Amino acid sequence: MPLNDLLQNRRSTRRFYPDAPIARAELNALISQANRAPSSNNAQPWRIMVLT
């Protein structure tokens, strides 16, 4: 998807459900994608803590 489309279609979250379940596979996929984010000087200072 082009960047312009992403920026025009963004949304703000008005309702957040902290008790909504998240499947382990979905959580792992989110963490995997977050690890691909760029970091300054390729330092990759990732520290992820999952609390359930």
Name 31's Cβ contacts closer than 8 Å, sequence gap at least 6. Answer: 48, 50
If one compares 16 and 23, the residue with the highest pLDDT of the two is: 23
Domain spans of the chain, in order of start: 3-42
pLDDT at 25 over 90: yes
The answer, as to whether pTM is greater than 0.85, is no
pLDDT at 47 over 90: no
- CA geometry: angle 15, 21, 17, nearest 5 deg: 15
- Is 39 in contact with 45 (CB distance < 8 Å)? yes
Region 24-41 average pLDDT = 90
Q: How confident is the model at residue 27, as a pLDDT?
A: 92
